Amino acid sequence: MPEILICEVGPRDGLQNAKQLMPTEAKKAWIRSLADAGLREIEVGSFVPPKLIPAMADTHELVVFSRALPNLKVVALAPNLKGFQRAIEAGAHKVTFPVSASREHSLSNVRMTPDQMVEEVRKCAEHPHPGVEMEGAVSTAFGCTMQGEVPEEDVVRIASKLAGFCDSVALADTVGYANPAQVKRLFNKVRSEIGDKLEGAHFHDTRGLGLANALAAYEVGVRAFDSSLGGLGGCPFAPGASGNVITEDLVFMFESMGLDTGIDLDKLLEARKLMVSAIPGEPVYGHLAMAGAPKGFHAAA
């Protein structure tokens, strides 16, 4: 089993804010190429009203398609009970619930306060969901473009509540405000409250600290990370939330450190080409794609 788990969120977080729609068949080809590269978790979409985010209108079809791919955990996002029910019907293996620690962002994103959203997730947990994992993701955990500072005690409180009925909890830097010292401090605070229920980290590279923050999280025991191929993505309801951590750069960092991700970098870069060709003109990023691997580089595996 690889030492590092990377969940590719490009088909959801990457495309929800894109200026153009990727055709469904192109999404399927992209998801298949990501799975072929060794990604074991892919967030294929979100069950939200298509009128709000048209790019997610085909999520049901993508979940059904992705379930047929071998050795892949199919992840989807749901903001409420209705979305969770749709995710279950489609066959998602894991559903992520965004619970913002920022009141302003929460109202903008899901039309609920943070505490109301926690109660919505509780309702979902009480709904029959045999075999479906639930992840509570505390978003804007490190700061918010609307509210500014987000008190750490709010993050700890929300994470603790979610840990009571979710299978796992993640901390998300939705708008790229985090720094490595803050990452270590907050992950340690939350882990002291909920222990091993704290699993995932979701960072944005908005201000160039995405990889540094991922490394800081690794150094305090995190082994599961979200990222997006080419750095696509951002929250449409959080101004200034651009650029997820770049999957290929994240994989390269860990592999160059001798840590096995189970991902084939060459195949991952081929998946990137598929993505770029399907949404021409969309800004993409990535140092590895530009510079290539160092001479003599060997992956950890």
Catalytic residues: 235
How many CB atoms are closer than 10 A to CB 51?
A: 7
d(CA 18, CA 21): 7
d(CA 175, CA 129): 31
Name the β-bridge partners of 225: 6, 201
- Spatial CA neighbour of 27 closest among 16, 212, 100: 16
> Helices in the chain by DSSP H: which ranges?
24-36, 59-67, 81-90, 103-110, 114-126, 152-163, 180-194, 210-219, 247-256, 265-278, 287-291
Instruction: Give the DSSP per-residue string, 109-125.
Output: HHSS-HHHHHHHHHHHH
Is residue 295 packed enough to be buried (19+ CB in 10 Å), middle (13-18) or exposed (0-12)?
Answer: exposed
d(CA 263, CA 285): 19
